[in-house]
């Protein structure tokens, strides 16, 4: 389809959804929500095509940019024209944009310095008032189910904040009649018995990151002090297996390591882990050869996992690709609320063998990081009223990333490359 035709189709989908919402006010309804979700898919497809074809039709691409966060404009237009906006209408309007899940960066501290990590390390921890404001915000969601995903840095280093958020969320969730879910991503180095008990009691799911056998792990994931922690990691992984906390082991593959993906997968399964996820390294440039090798080995791993009764998490519905365009909310330690992958800058700067792209100074890096943060900043958590309002769609984040990296062609190439990796991952055979 020509880009101009795609833009016209998007405009007509939007007009139809607007009419349906106005007719069904104040309750909204499935029909309008589905129309908007079709529009989101059409926008993402059109923008992807426009980026692949650049410089194609600049005018049509600019018209696509007018759809950025169109839900907010639509809400304003409906209210201005006197339509009664009830909770049902709001729920239909925002159902398709992210906002059900919040990534909570309880700390930026971490014992490791993984080669693919994009989180700026410092000793900040989330103060109680920010924890409380984040929980209260999510519990105002229009959805009946909300999820808190504790992240960092290493969240076990700020476990008091995790405890506080969980207890408050459960109390407020029960009062509001909402289901609360908790997820935590950990490097596994500080997994004590008390903490495991708490995670079990509150029905957490865990993501435990491990890049395979000792040498592979230590090569990609050195400690800040360069020590050998592998025995500790293995012991904690073994303890986790018997702790009654559902978990998935996540392994991150760099482009240069694509050839060892299957071997690594089998190694982790051989340790007794039954749910395994493989992440391609974001922020790296996947050249044609490494990309082909990655997907060849993924297919092999899928076949092997099926035969062994191992759950290959990438092939389940819970995996949302392209990950780089994920629009869930992120709450940073200092109370800044972002949409999407904003804390992953530093990112978008690595070549296929993991080396930094270009010799950017720290000052330039931090300038660019601030610029990306500015584009993805939603609000201060204590000022935000409705989490759904801030959620973004993959289209919103794709356009924003392209804007952020407009003057950095190599970083922009990495964005397009990582989106492509995500779209190709969608093509893997589902379980
Ligand atoms: S463990 Fe996680 S936060 Fe720490 S350096 Fe590695 S990827 Fe980054």
Task: Yes or no: say if 121 and 108 are a contact pair by the CB < 8 Å rule.
Answer: yes
Give 234-242's long-range contacts (Cβ < 8 A, gap of 24+): 234/271, 236/188, 236/189, 236/191, 237/188, 237/208, 237/210, 237/271, 237/273, 238/271, 238/272, 239/191, 239/196, 240/188, 240/191, 240/196, 240/206, 240/208, 241/272, 241/273
The Å distance, Cα 115 to ligand 1 centre, comes to 9
The Å distance, Cα 369 to ligand 1 centre, comes to 18
Output the ligand 1 site: residues, CB below 6 A. 110, 112-114, 117, 119, 152-154, 187, 221
Q: Which atom of ligand 1 is nearest to the CA of 112?
A: 5
Q: Which atom of ligand 1 is nearest to the CA of 118?
A: 8
Q: Which of 103, 108, 112 has most ligand 1 atoms within 8 Å of its beta carbon, as the pocket-test mutant?
A: 112
pLDDT value, residue 353: 45
The Å distance, Cα 6 to ligand 1 centre, comes to 41
Strands 329-331 and 101-105: parallel
In angstroms, rounded to a whole number, what is the distance separating the alpha carbons of residues 371 and 404? 7
Q: Which atom of ligand 1 is nearest to the CA of 110?
A: 4
pLDDT value, residue 346: 45
In angstroms, rounded to a whole number, what is the distance separating the alpha carbons of residues 399 and 69? 10
The Å distance, Cα 295 to ligand 1 centre, comes to 25
Helix (H) or strand (E) holding 253: strand 247-253
pLDDT value, residue 17: 95
In angstroms, rounded to a whole number, what is the distance separating the alpha carbons of residues 346 and 251? 20
Using 50 as the pLDDT threshold, list the residues of the chain that sit under it.
Answer: 345-360
Q: Which atom of ligand 1 is nearest to the CA of 111?
A: 4
Q: Which residue, judged by its Cα, is nearest atom 6 of ligand 1?
A: 114
Q: Which of 110, 122, 185 has most ligand 1 atoms within 8 Å of its beta carbon, as the pocket-test mutant?
A: 110
In angstroms, rounded to a whole number, what is the distance separating the alpha carbons of residues 220 and 152? 18
* Domain spans in the chain, listed from the N-terminal domain onward: 3-94, 101-426
The pTM assigned to this predicted structure is 0.90
Q: What's the CA dihedral at 124, 129, 133, 135 to 10 degrees? A: 80
Range 101-426: architecture per CATH: Alpha-Beta Barrel (3.20)
Query: Of 224, 310, 317, 223, which Cα lies nearest the Cα of 267?
Result: 310
Return all residues near 417 (Cβ < 8 A) that are at least 6 apart.
285, 286
Instruction: Work out whether the CA dihedral 310, 315, 317, 319 comes out positive or negative.
Output: positive
pLDDT value, residue 409: 80
The Å distance, Cα 86 to ligand 1 centre, comes to 43
Task: Yes or no: say if 422 and 324 are a contact pair by the CB < 8 Å rule.
Answer: yes
Q: Which atom of ligand 1 is nearest to the CA of 221?
A: 6
pLDDT value, residue 47: 92
Query: Of 199, 118, 219, 99, which Cα lies nearest the Cα of 155?
Result: 199
The Å distance, Cα 119 to ligand 1 centre, comes to 7
The Å distance, Cα 225 to ligand 1 centre, comes to 14
Q: Which residue, judged by its Cα, is nearest atom 3 of ligand 1?
A: 153
């Amino acid at each position: 389809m020509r880009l101009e035709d795609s833009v016209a189709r998007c405009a007509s989908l939007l007009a139809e959804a607007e009419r349906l919402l106005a007719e069904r006010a104040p309750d909204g309804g499935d029909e309008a929500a589905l129309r908007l979700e079709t529009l989101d898919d059409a926008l993402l497809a059109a923008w992807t095509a426009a980026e692949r074809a650049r410089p194609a039709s600049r005018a049509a691409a600019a018209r696509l940019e007018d759809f950025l966060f169109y839900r907010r404009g639509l809400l304003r237009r409906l209210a201005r024209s006197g339509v009664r906006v009830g909770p049902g209408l709001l729920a239909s309007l925002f159902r398709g944009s992210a906002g059900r899940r919040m990534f909570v960066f309880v700390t930026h501290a971490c014992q490791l310095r993984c080669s693919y990590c994009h989180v700026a390390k410092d000793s900040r921890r989330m103060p109680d008032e920010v924890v409380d404001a984040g929980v209260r915000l999510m519990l105002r969601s229009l959805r009946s189910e909300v999820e808190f995903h504790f992240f960092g840095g290493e969240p076990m280093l700020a476990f008091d904040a995790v405890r506080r958020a969980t207890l408050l969320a459960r109390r407020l969730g029960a009062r509001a009649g909402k289901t609360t879910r908790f997820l935590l991503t950990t490097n596994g180095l500080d997994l004590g018995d008390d903490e495991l008990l708490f995670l079990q009691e509150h029905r957490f799911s865990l993501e435990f990151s491990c890049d395979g056998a000792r040498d592979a792990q230590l090569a990609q994931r050195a400690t800040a002090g360069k020590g050998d922690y592998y025995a500790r990691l293995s012991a904690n992984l073994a303890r986790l297996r018997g702790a009654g906390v559902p978990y998935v082991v996540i392994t991150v593959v760099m482009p240069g390591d694509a050839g060892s993906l299957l071997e690594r997968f089998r190694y982790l399964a051989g340790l007794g882990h039954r749910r395994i996820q493989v992440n391609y390294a974001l922020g790296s440039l996947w050249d044609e050869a490494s990309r082909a090798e990655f997907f060849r080995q993924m297919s092999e791993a899928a076949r092997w996992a099926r035969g062994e009764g191992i759950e290959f998490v990438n092939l389940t519905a819970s995996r949302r690709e392209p990950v780089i365009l994920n629009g869930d909310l992120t709450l940073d330690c200092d109370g800044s609320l972002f949409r999407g992958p904003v804390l992953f800058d530093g990112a978008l700067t690595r070549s296929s063998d993991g080396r930094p792209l270009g010799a950017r100074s720290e000052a330039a890096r931090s300038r660019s990081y601030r610029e990306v943060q500015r584009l993805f900043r939603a609000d201060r958590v204590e000022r935000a009223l409705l989490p759904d309002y801030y959620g973004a769609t993959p289209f919103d984040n794709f356009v924003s990333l392209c804007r952020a990296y407009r003057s950095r062609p190599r970083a922009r190439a990495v964005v397009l490359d990582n989106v492509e990796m995500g779209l190709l991952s969608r093509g893997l055979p589902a379980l």
